């Protein structure tokens, strides 16, 4: 389970940037699963062309990746600036 506060932070950052959000259950063994054991963690996904992910046919353009990078940046800043 990911930290509810971090998940909400990612949602707020995405919304603030005008991006839609969708909660996804992931079965892949992402590093974030292991990090969640020791620190607050969430994951940010960007769409892959044709929905193909976790294989050699996965493809995403820089333009498709940019919103996810923007959300990550804003979440990092917000987390660093918390009181």
CA–CA gap between residue 34 and residue 36 (Å, rounded): 5
Q: Can you spell out the DSSP letters for 47-81? A: --GGG--SSTT----HHHHHHHHHHHHHHHHHHHT
**Per-residue pLDDT tens over the stretch 30-75:** 788 889 899 999 999 888 899 888 789 999 999 999 999 999 999 9
Q: Is 82 helix (H, G, I), strand (E, B) or coil?
A: coil
- pLDDT band, residue 28 (cuts 50/70/90): low
- Contact indicator for 3, 41 with CB cutoff of 8 Å: yes
18 neighbors 53 (Cβ within 8 angstroms): no
Q: What is the pLDDT of residues 2-27, one digit of tens each?
A: 899 999 999 999 999 999 999 887 77
pLDDT of residue 68: 95
- More confident call, 58 vs 83: 58
Residue 24: the pLDDT is 84
CATH class of 4-80: mainly alpha
Q: Where are the domains positioned within the chain?
A: 4-80
């Amino acid at each position: 389970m990911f930290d509810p506060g971090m998940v909400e932070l990612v949602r707020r950052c995405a919304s603030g940037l005008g991006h839609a959000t969708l909660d996804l259950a992931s079965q892949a063994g992402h590093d974030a699963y292991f990090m969640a054991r020791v620190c607050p963690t969430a994951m940010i996904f960007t769409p892959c062309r044709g929905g193909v992910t976790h294989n050699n046919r996965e493809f995403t353009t820089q333009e498709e990746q940019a919103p996810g990078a923007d959300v990550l940046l804003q979440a990092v800043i917000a987390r660093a600036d918390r009181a």
